[in-house]
Structure 1
Amino acid sequence: MLITPAVIIDYDIMINNLITTQRECDKRGINLRPHFKAHKTPLLAEIQERIGAIGFTTAKLSEAELLKEEGFKDIIVAYPIVTQSNVSRLRELSEGIKVGTIVDSYEGVDVLNNGFEGSKLDVYIKIDTGLNRCGLKSSDDIIAFAKNIKLKRNLNLIGLLTHAGHSYKCSSLAEVMNIGQSEGKILLDIKNKLKASGIHIREISVGSTPTLNFVIDVQGVTEVRPGNYIFNDNTQLALRTSKMDNCALTVKTTVISKKESGFIIDAGAKTLGLDKGTHGSNILEGYGKILEYPEAQIVGLSEEHGFVNSQKQPEIGGVITLIPNHSCVVMNLAPRVFLNKNNKLENIENKGRLLNY
């Protein structure tokens, strides 16, 4: 009997998601470099690589270090590395494999250049195309910044990189499409300005699951870095960038108590997370979609309890299925993950769980 709460990955749906995306990228001659933080599982990374991924993106060095330990050899750490201790880790990581990272400050450029004396590190200029997180805006003096990098003997400027995370705040698919087209065009415009100043770059790297199907049609994009596409989730459903049939990750949870307004489940915040939309977008009501009771709403979470408002009440002890709001968070929290393949559950190890440094 399955012990709940349990995270279940439908193998067939996952494979279909991976193959479909890889095929669309291959058609356009665009490299696919998935974001490892979406699943944090080397076994799934192996599958992605086998299907055609050229390498992986990570947020944190610890994720990249795990990938190297597991035999992967092409990694972009898409996170500012600005301390000497982390530069030392990055240099050690780069020994024997291909590694790149991002820069968006003169301080970051200097610390990387100093830390890679006698070696060479590939760097991308991080561009802020609307998320207002890290990165230089197109209105900044990117030409001067790029020229400064070119003066550094230990750095190799190879591209521009962005993440259109603001697409998660969209209220319509048309908005998502506009952002997807814009993220590619902004980077290409910067590339052309750099070229006119004598600075040639090779890579235009973009990435977010919502904008994926739109940005790949922007001619000149060389690489995409989606993460969530492997599973999809309730956020993608709300954005209309995925359908229910493409949601590969679900959570099985048991009804443990009844209330006048509904019932209580054994999946709480330590299983589902507290997201109501990525990047604080709060586009969702509730904390997941219950498949057996579509009218029900998970209105609150304690650490180990979920509060469900529902006109219909399942039996106590009954097991129900939900699509979480944010599958990446669920994978990071889950101590056990099951792969449902040929109607058999295989316990797989998400070795990168909780790696955040």
Structure 2
Amino acid sequence: MSHASSPLKSLTVNRPTLLLDKNRAIRNIQRMQKKADRAGLRFRPHFKTHQSAAIGAWFRRLGCKSITVSSLDMAAYFADHGWKNITVAFTANLLEGKAMKSLGRKTQLNLLLDSAELARGLPPFLPAKTPVWIDVDVGYHRTGIPWDDFSKIITVARAVRSEAKLSLAGLLTHSGHTYQAKSPLEIRRIHKDSLLKLRAVKKRLQEEGIHPCEISIGDTPSCSAANSFAGADEIRPGNFIFYDLTMSTLGVCRDEDIAVAVACPVVAKYESWNQVVIYGGAVHLSKEFLLDERGRRVYGYPAFPGNASWGPAERKAPIVSLSQEHGLIEMNDSFLRQTKVGDLLAILPVHSCLTADLYRSYLALDGKKIERRQSNDRG
């Protein structure tokens, strides 16, 4: 058997399996926690990436006390595992009022809104005074009030303050447009611009007598690449726990920081096409892709296992096609000679959040299984 599979042999993997390098993940947590501490920021990591009570415990042991999630169901899961301060960074859904009320009795629930209508609709579903954040759009254009629509933001803030069961926590944004940046320098420019806009909004609110008002930001590219967070009170990155090929391509992490990979068996080899086929398709990797220098879609890169983990991405061996169960890897002669049918390849994900969401558990490199939350978010 070639060296491409020997370090994984002891894990008894025979089908696509989500591997987790615990040491890398903990180093990623420690690095981000230290950055928040140095900047005097509240560290409220987003748990949507890992969705695991066991992994959440690693954060708690390192001093983390408050978290972010993307659904009430996810919030309930982590509340059941002892988390007492949870922000749901998704616009509050009035149709989930019953779940909101139940959850509000278990934990300090912090909600997100972007309209006076929502501010008036929430109180009947809240068992106690609840902090709410105003969702502000600083350029991503997904959700939120445009940052320069001061009139609407002030109207929403006043609506919040008029409700006895609501308290204004502040302004929250997700600068997701950093994912389209071409360099760490551009990410830092977007980050600086986002904070400038949020500080301008905060200043206008203060001029209207609306304070205190905190600022919460939360995208992994900014939180990884930036060292200055002037005006921010908390950060909410999530992807950083695992990182992925998108982040390493952006230049905000190294391949050696990527803490998850999908172990995929090699099931066929075609020398005449310079391709191998892996048991690992869209249902195992997701269909997220990067574009290579030729403009082709690349759905991941393999990494040959090293002594303790897997190595860097082999960018000369892209996954160029995915169907439901199959993945096709294009290899040059050198890689092709190293790879045999029956080997295991560690496939680094393009987007670890979506890849991890396809699995029920992680397999740590010491052979221990780490359970994930079983989602009810999709009905």
Instruction: Compute the TM-score of the two structures, normalised by the length of structure 2.
Output: 0.87
AA at the equivalent of 1:115? F
CA-to-partner distance for each residue in 1:36-61, whole Å, 9 max, x for gaps? 11111111111112212221111111
Does residue 329 (structure 1) correspond to residue 354 (structure 2)? The answer is yes
For 2:103, the equivalent position in structure 1 comes to: 93
Aligned residues: 347
Q: Secondary structure at the residue paired with 1:337?
A: strand
For 2:14, the equivalent position in structure 1 comes to: 3
CA-to-partner distance for each residue in 1:258-289, whole Å, 9 max, x for gaps? 23320110111111001126xxxxx9831112
For 2:112, the equivalent position in structure 1 comes to: 102
Q: Secondary structure at the residue paired with 2:122?
A: helix
For 1:267, the equivalent position in structure 2 comes to: 280
Structure 2 residue ranges without an equivalent (≥5): 1-11, 305-313
Distance, in Å, in 1 between the alignment partners of 2:248 and 2:103 is 37
TM-aligned CA deviation for residue 214 of structure 1: 4.8
Whether the 8 Å CA contact 2:84–2:108 is kept in 1: the answer is yes
AA at the equivalent of 1:44? I
TM-aligned CA deviation for residue 187 of structure 1: 1.4
For 2:307, the equivalent position in structure 1 comes to: none
For 2:4, the equivalent position in structure 1 comes to: none
CA-to-partner distance for each residue in 1:87-143, whole Å, 9 max, x for gaps? 221121011321101111222212112333x63111000011111011011121212
Identity value in percent? 29
Whether the 8 Å CA contact 1:265–1:306 is kept in 2: the answer is yes
TM-aligned CA deviation for residue 145 of structure 1: 2.0
For 2:241, the equivalent position in structure 1 comes to: 230
Distance, in Å, in 1 between the alignment partners of 2:345 and 2:193 is 41
Distance, in Å, in 2 between the alignment partners of 1:151 and 1:284 is 54
Residues 61 and 216 of structure 1: is their aligned pair in 2 closer, same or farther, counting only changes over 3 Å? farther
Q: Secondary structure at the residue paired with 2:204?
A: helix
Matches within 5 A, 1:249-268: 249-259=260-270, 260-261=272-273, 262-268=275-281
Q: Secondary structure at the residue paired with 1:210?
A: helix
For 1:345, the equivalent position in structure 2 comes to: 367
Does residue 217 (structure 1) correspond to residue 228 (structure 2)? The answer is yes
Residues 284 and 72 of structure 1: is their aligned pair in 2 closer, same or farther, counting only changes over 3 Å? farther
Structure 1 residue ranges without an equivalent (≥5): 278-282
For 1:81, the equivalent position in structure 2 comes to: 92
Whether the 8 Å CA contact 1:66–1:352 is kept in 2: the answer is no
TM-aligned CA deviation for residue 353 of structure 1: 4.7
TM-aligned CA deviation for residue 322 of structure 1: 1.8
Distance, in Å, in 2 between the alignment partners of 1:265 and 1:354 is 30
Distance, in Å, in 1 between the alignment partners of 2:154 and 2:213 is 16
Does residue 179 (structure 1) correspond to residue 202 (structure 2)? The answer is no
Whether the 8 Å CA contact 1:324–1:330 is kept in 2: the answer is yes
Distance, in Å, in 2 between the alignment partners of 1:353 and 1:148 is 34
Distance, in Å, in 2 between the alignment partners of 1:321 and 1:200 is 50
Matches within 5 A, 1:102-121: 102-116=112-126, 119-121=128-130
TM-aligned CA deviation for residue 356 of structure 1: 4.4
Does residue 308 (structure 1) correspond to residue 329 (structure 2)? The answer is yes
Matches within 5 A, 1:5-44: 5-44=16-55
TM-aligned CA deviation for residue 355 of structure 1: 4.0
Q: Secondary structure at the residue paired with 1:127?
A: strand
Moved over 6 A (4+): none
TM-aligned CA deviation for residue 329 of structure 1: 1.1
Whether the 8 Å CA contact 1:7–1:252 is kept in 2: the answer is yes
TM-aligned CA deviation for residue 192 of structure 1: 1.2
Does residue 195 (structure 1) correspond to residue 206 (structure 2)? The answer is yes
Instruction: Compute the TM-score of the two structures, normalised by the length of structure 1.
Output: 0.92
For 2:320, the equivalent position in structure 1 comes to: 299
Distance, in Å, in 2 between the alignment partners of 1:43 and 1:68 is 13
Whether the 8 Å CA contact 1:333–1:354 is kept in 2: the answer is no
Distance, in Å, in 1 between the alignment partners of 2:296 and 2:243 is 15
TM-aligned CA deviation for residue 152 of structure 1: 1.6
For 1:122, the equivalent position in structure 2 comes to: 131
Indicate which of 290, 296, 300 corresponds to 1:288: 300
Distance, in Å, in 2 between the alignment partners of 1:216 and 1:352 is 36
Q: Secondary structure at the residue paired with 1:37?
A: coil
For 1:280, the equivalent position in structure 2 comes to: none
Distance, in Å, in 2 between the alignment partners of 1:192 and 1:256 is 61
For 1:151, the equivalent position in structure 2 comes to: 162
Distance, in Å, in 1 between the alignment partners of 2:214 and 2:100 is 21
Residues 214 and 327 of structure 1: is their aligned pair in 2 closer, same or farther, counting only changes over 3 Å? closer
CA-to-partner distance for each residue in 1:146-193, whole Å, 9 max, x for gaps? 112211222111111000111111122221111111222221221111
Larger Rg: 2
Q: Secondary structure at the residue paired with 1:38?
A: coil
Distance, in Å, in 2 between the alignment partners of 1:284 and 1:50 is 43
Distance, in Å, in 2 between the alignment partners of 1:82 and 1:217 is 34
Distance, in Å, in 1 between the alignment partners of 2:114 and 2:171 is 10
Distance, in Å, in 2 between the alignment partners of 1:335 and 1:97 is 26
